[in-house]
Chain A
Amino acid sequence: MKHIISALVENKPGVLAHVAGMFAARAFNIDSLVVGRTEDPQLSRMTIVVIGDDRVLEQVRKQLAKIVPVVKVQDFVGQPVVARDLMLIAISVPPEKRPEILSLIEMFRGKVVDISQKFVMVEISGPEAKIEAFINVCKPYGIKSVARTGTIAMPRHAKIEA
């Protein structure tokens, strides 16, 4: 099962290496890992999507929490969260097919961020499934390249206030 783990870590050199090294050393499976700043300049947030059974996930959480610069570990499994990926995708589109692709982009609430003779580059964000779906509908046109962030997530408001 897929779990979204959110870890607040001290904003120090070596922390990413430590976390990534621990996952490799213990043969845990990372689907994606995103690191970014938070509201507190001393802390960064790592959002890690991990695949495994309950037992593996228990170890993942405990081993993460054991790393000294890791301040807090949450597993969002089973709770309402907003989870989002961001993607840039370059699709090859000959001029005659542009109207068609533009309406697709609109349906997915994507944004055209660059355009040339042969390609359009689209920025699109949303739950992973939506991103995947968009990739699928673009396939027939030809995908030149894809850059994705991996998932970031936050529990829904009600939860934060509680």
Chain B
Amino acid sequence: MKSKSRTSAGSADQITRRGEQAVKTGAQIVVDTLIEQGVETMFGYTGGVVLPLFDRLYDAPINFIVPRHEQGGCHMADAYARASGKVGVMLATSGPGACNLVTGLATAMMDSVPLVALTGQVRTELIGNDAFQEADTTGITRPVTKYNCIVKDVKDVARIIREAFYIASTGRPGPVLVDLPVDVQVTKCSTGGPAEMKLPGYRVRTKGHARQISTAAEAINKSKQPVLYVGGGVVSANASQELRALAEKAHLPVTMTLLGLGSYDQRRPESLDMLGMHGAAYANYAVQECDLLIAVGARFDDRVTGKVETFAPNAKIIHIDIDPASISKNVSVDIPVVGDAKVILGELVKEVEYRERKRWFNKIAEWKKKFAFRYDQDSSTIKPQFVVEELCRQTKSGAIVTTGVGQNQMWAAQFYKFIRPRQFISSGGLGTMGYGLPAAIGAQVAMPDVTVIDIDGDHSFNMTMTELATAVEHNLPINVCILNNGYMGMVRQWQELFYNKRYSKSYLSNPDYAVIARALGAVGITVDKKEEVPKAVKQMLAEKKPCVVDFRVEREENVWPMVPAGKSIDEMSGLDILERLI
């Protein structure tokens, strides 16, 4: 292997002498290809076998952010991608560095986020020998990436990196990992030759089938009780405008999944907000009673459908999705349309007609009035929902919101009203605690002029709080709002409801977050009185530094409504509580 690389380097030199092509190391080719792909910002953490790459990055025109843990870096790159629509890039060393990416890759995979992860690998000749810091990175990450590969020949570096960006960002987006042995990084190679992509097995269908689109339009025109059910695919396809045009022209109510939030302006009358396990009762009722369900870029996840056999029982189902495999996976579909949501919705708009659907919209309006998201506003304690509402009020629905996982995430989704796509950034599919803070950093790097708020849980924050140091280092004015209930609240809620209030291992002693924030160079504020909430939010938003606000909220508040596991989505608990609060 060694002698082989020497020969290829030799021949490369000869070519330069003839002055036809440039000779570069693998590492230089990587960096040049990143720049060629439009990478302006990337995230990464160094180590033994990526030193050649870091050397080439030393003076490269790329804004480089080093997290405190590779998982954090991967979430940052992920949120950078979600906020900007560009491909996120994360670089890590072999072995432990690569292993630390796994949670981040799985998070991005489940939520279809375009990400390119580059990992160093031990020298090609040592692979398989249990060498120092060797891990079977492609083997470990295969199930959590859209595609991955190891580059064994420097001549393939440019092509494979191009392919990685192309695969990550087209079709149903997802993370792609490229493993780069250190000898490939240092081997020289002539460049300038053709590095065209070779992907005979990768096809993307963007244009929808014209007849299917017409069939869908007819069904919409005929429907008396339709519902649009939209997911993250609308956000990643940048199809919000087309969605709005369709909903307005055909006059359709719109409900969104957790990841779909932001794709439709929640202030508009057609919005039914979020559906599903902790979704709006009015959204769930509308879905259960609709005669036509138009799913766009959504995948009938079990958190949305509840008991799948009784999901939307009377509905004909149209499913628009770029991924043929997501069609009829969980629910059998009547009118499938495979392709890009933006293109298909654009076509669909042309063929639909306005229908008043007065009875349907009246019914929905009644449900909306009766079962709005509510909480006890007269309580003397700080209600977590109140904090989220106050954040929404003071930022005028304009902030980018990231979340932890658990009750905090659900309250953020229920009580912040989103108005534009890429505004709500949350780990939906994998439900990764610890996502919120690094995600806020990634989003703030992507959108320096937008207010970024991490609405977090105390225990979610515990998992990755070290990244506060990263925010401080880069002077990122992120706002971390910990809805500190002293519990793994969502777990506690289940234990309260289904395990006789036996709160087994669902609380830990927490540190004083404001003190921690200050120790790391951020601003730290503690709020334990309800009346101090608005002032604290105001102060936080005025801060130029990263700011952590520890809201000591009501400890045993629950998220309502709730569809218990295995029930239909119209069998919600907690509706009596919502009605009592009217």
Listed in ascending order, the chain A residues whose CB lies under 8 Å from chain B are 9-10, 12-14, 17-18, 21-22, 25, 42, 55, 58-59, 62-63, 65-72
Contact = CB atoms under 8 A, between A and B. Distances in A.
Given A17-B139, A17-B142, A21-B142, A62 B324 contact: yes
A59 B142 contact: no
Interface in B408-441: none
B146 A68 contact: yes
B138 interface: yes
Interface string B111-153: 0000000000000000000000000001100110011111000
B201 A69 contact: yes
Interface string B148-171: 111000000000000000010000
B491 to A, nearest CB: 26
Given A14-B138, A14-B142, A14-B149, A68 B202 contact: yes
B199 interface: yes
22 contacts: A9-B201, A13-B150, A14-B139, A14-B148, A17-B142, A21-B143, A22-B143, A25-B143, A42-B200, A55-B328, A59-B325, A59-B329, A62-B324, A63-B325, A65-B324, A66-B323, A68-B146, A68-B167, A68-B202, A69-B201, A71-B201, A72-B201
A68 B139 contact: no
A68 B143 contact: no
Nearest to B199: A68
B325 A62 contact: yes
The residue among B150, B199, B325, B332 with the most chain A CB atoms within 10 A of its own CB is B325
Nearest to B167: A68
A137 to B, nearest CB: 43
A71 B324 CA distance: 15
Contacts of B199: 68
B370 to A, nearest CB: 38
A125 B332 CA distance: 41
A73 to B, nearest CB: 10
Contacts of B148: 14
Contacts of B150: 13-14
A58 B328 contact: yes
Contacts of B200: 10, 42, 71
A67 B332 CA distance: 23
Contacts of A69: 201
Given A18-B142, A66-B323, A68-B146, 13 more contacts: A13-B150, A14-B138, A14-B139, A14-B149, A25-B143, A55-B328, A59-B325, A62-B324, A62-B325, A66-B324, A66-B325, A68-B167, A69-B201
Interface of B: 138-139, 142-143, 146-150, 167, 199-202, 323-325, 328-329, 332
Contacts of B143: 21-22, 25
Contacts of B139: 14, 17
A89 B90 CA distance: 53
A22 B323 CA distance: 16
Contacts of A25: 143
A63 B142 CA distance: 14
B102 to A, nearest CB: 14
Contacts of A68: 146-147, 167, 199, 201-202
A55 B327 CA distance: 11
The 7 A-B residue pairs with the shortest CB-CB distance, nearest first, are A62-B325, A71-B201, A68-B147, A71-B200, A70-B201, A69-B201, A68-B202
Nearest to B201: A71
Nearest to A73: B201
A22 B200 CA distance: 20
A57 to B, nearest CB: 12
B201 A67 contact: yes
Contacts of B324: 62, 65-66
Contacts of A12: 149
A85 to B, nearest CB: 27
Nearest to A22: B143
A23 to B, nearest CB: 12
A4 B540 CA distance: 62
A69 B201 CA distance: 5
A10 B167 CA distance: 16
A25 B234 CA distance: 27
A67 B325 CA distance: 11
A17 B142 CA distance: 9
Contacts of A55: 328, 332
A64 B329 CA distance: 14
A145 B428 CA distance: 51
B149 A10 contact: no
A151 B323 CA distance: 30
A63 B199 CA distance: 17
Contacts of A21: 142-143
Nearest to A70: B201
A58 to B, nearest CB: 7
A39 to B, nearest CB: 15
Contacts of B329: 59
A9 B202 CA distance: 11
A38 B199 CA distance: 18
B254 to A, nearest CB: 28
A72 B138 CA distance: 23
Contacts of B202: 68
A64 to B, nearest CB: 9
A160 to B, nearest CB: 20
The residue among B200, B201, B202 with the most chain A CB atoms within 10 A of its own CB is B201
A66 B150 CA distance: 20
Contacts of B332: 55
A20 to B, nearest CB: 10
The residue among A12, A14, A17 with the most chain B CB atoms within 10 A of its own CB is A14
A55 B324 CA distance: 13
A107 B484 CA distance: 79
A59 B331 CA distance: 12
A42 B199 CA distance: 12
Contacts of A66: 323-325
A97 to B, nearest CB: 48
A17 B145 CA distance: 13
A12 B324 CA distance: 25
Nearest to B138: A14
A38 to B, nearest CB: 13
A25 B328 CA distance: 18
B233 to A, nearest CB: 15
A21 B139 CA distance: 10
A90 B200 CA distance: 43
The residue among B138, B143, B200 with the most chain A CB atoms within 10 A of its own CB is B200
